[in-house]
Amino acid sequence: MKRIEDRIRVLVAEKGITLLQLAIQSKITEATLHAILNRNDAKYSQLSRIASTLDVNVAYLAGETTIKNMSVVEEPRTGYVAIKADEVIDMQKQIIDLQGKLLDKK
């Protein structure tokens, strides 16, 4: 099961909702949802809203991971560290700030 359509259909069945209910709750039109299902192609913003409605992450819908909800973090593998995305973004901002300060000193 790798297609977006397959994952959405399974999740809709698991939640016990219809595709129309998914579209309404995701704030997209039913026609847009059917286009996503038929073309296996969608804008990130659309997938994000669908994923949020189905309580999964976009990476799961896109078939990039088997983890439905990234807030459930598994034990890190040896040699790896699990860091939340928000923390990574904060670190990147700090690096940019430090680089700016270094450039100002020159």
pLDDT of residue 70: 66
CATH of range 4-61; options 3.30.1050.10, 1.20.20.10, 3.30.70.380, 1.10.260.40: 1.10.260.40
68, 57 Cβ separation under 8 angstroms: yes
As a 3-state breakdown, the chain gives helix, strand, coil percent values, each rounded to 5, of 60, 0, 40
- pTM score, whole prediction: 0.62
Provide CB contacts within 8 A for 18, sequence distance 6+. Answer: 12
Residue pLDDT, tens place only, 45-74: 899 999 999 999 888 888 877 777 766 555
| DSSP conformational letter for 75 | P
Query: What phi, psi does 67 have (nearest 5°)?
Result: -85, 115
| DSSP conformational letter for 76 | P
What's the chain's average pLDDT?
A: 84
pLDDT of residue 78: 65
pLDDT at residue 102 tops 90: no
Banded pLDDT at 103 (limits 50, 70, 90): confident
